[in-house]
């Protein structure tokens, strides 16, 4: 850890990760990052009503259905994690 990190939130990476789930670190894999991205995106779609409405029109679904779908997709947005090579 660098000396400068003593003063900011990065000093407690664990704490940071606990508070902001989407934050990353140097050992983050492509898959983990992608999962974070996907979840953030779904959260954002669900959070912005107009964009939810837009998707609803595009897919010809109800807004509630769209919301439900997005929430469901947040569970495993990128499928199962790939086998770790190093273990």
Partner 1 sequence: MDAEIAKTQEERRRMEQQLASLTSVTFDTDLYGGNDRDAYVTSIPVNEDEENLDAMDNEVARKLASYTAPKSLLKEMPRGGAEDDNEDALGFKKPQRIIDREDDYRKRRLNRVISPERHDAFAAGEKTPDPSVRTYADVMREEALKREKEETLKRIAKKKEEEEAAAKAGSVDKGTEDKGPKRRNRWDQSQDEGAAAAKKAKSTSDWDLPEDATPGRWDATPTPGRLGDATPSASVGRRNRWDETPTPGRLADATPAGAVTPGATPSGMTWDATPKVSGLATPTPKRQRSRWDETPATMGSATPMAGATPAAAAFTPGITPVGGVELATPTPGAINLRGAITPEQYNLLRWEKDIEERNRPLTDEELDAMFPQEGYKILEPPASYVPIRTPARKLLATPTPLGTPLYSIPEENRGQQFDVPKEAPGGLPFMKPEDYQYFGALLNEDDEEELSPEEQKERKIMKLLLKVKNGTPPQRKTALRQLTDKAREFGAGPLFNRILPLLMQPTLEDQERHLLVKVIDRVLYKLDELVRPYVHKILVVIEPLLIDEDYYARVEGREIISNLSKAAGLATMIAAMRPDIDNIDEYVRNTTARAFSVVASALGIPALLPFLKAVCQSKKSWQARHTGIKIVQQIAILIGCAVLPHLRSLVEIIEHGLLDENQKVRTITALSLAALAEAAAPYGIESFDSVLKPLWKGIRSHRGKVLAAFLKAIGFIIPLMDALYASYYTKEVMVILIREFQSPDEEMKKIVLKVVKQCVSTEGVEADYIRNDILPEFFRNFWVRRMALDRRNYRQLVDTTVEIANKVGVADIVGRIVEDLKDESEPYRRMVMETIEKVVANLGASDIDARLEELLIDGILYAFQEQTSDDANVMLNGFGAVVNSLGQRVKPYLPQICGTIKWRLNNKSAKVRQQAADLISRIAVVMKQCQEEQLMGHLGVVLYEYLGEEYPEVLGSILGALKAIVNVIGMTKMTPPIKDLLPRLTPILKNRHEKVQENCIDLVGRIADRGAEFVPAREWMRICFELLEMLKAHKKGIRRATVNTFGYIAKAIGPQDVLATLLNNLKVQERQNRVCTTVAIAIVAETCSPFTVLPALMNEYRVPELNVQNGVLKSLSFLFEYIGEMGKDYIYAVTPLLEDALMDRDLVHRQTAASAVKHMALGVAGLGCEDALVHLLNYVWPNIFETSPHVINAVMEAIEGMRVALGAAVVLNYCLQGLFHPARKVREVYWKIYNSLYIGSQDALVAAYPVLEDEHNNIYSRPELMMFV
Residues that bind partner 1 (CB under 8 A): 2-10, 16, 20, 22-26, 28, 30-31, 33-34, 37-38, 40-41, 44-45, 47, 54-55, 57-59, 77-80, 82
CA distance linking residue 51 with residue 47, whole number of Å: 9
Question: Can you say how many angstroms the Cα of residue 79 is from the centroid of all Cα atoms in its chain?
Answer: 13
CB of 53 to partner 1, least distance (A): 11
Count the residues in the chain. Answer: 87
CB of 14 to partner 1, least distance (A): 13
What is the enclosing helix (H) or strand (E) of 49?
helix 49-59
CB of 16 to partner 1, least distance (A): 7
């Amino acid at each position: 850890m660098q000396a400068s990190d003593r003063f900011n939130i990065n000093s407690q990476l664990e704490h940071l990760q606990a508070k902001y789930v989407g934050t990353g670190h140097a050992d983050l894999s492509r898959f983990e990052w992608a999962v974070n991205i996907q979840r953030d995106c779904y959260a954002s779609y669900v959070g912005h009503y107009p964009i939810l409405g837009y998707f609803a029109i595009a897919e010809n679904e109800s807004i509630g259905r769209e919301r439900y779908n997005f929430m469901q997709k947040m569970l495993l947005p990128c499928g199962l994690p790939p086998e770790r090579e190093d273990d």
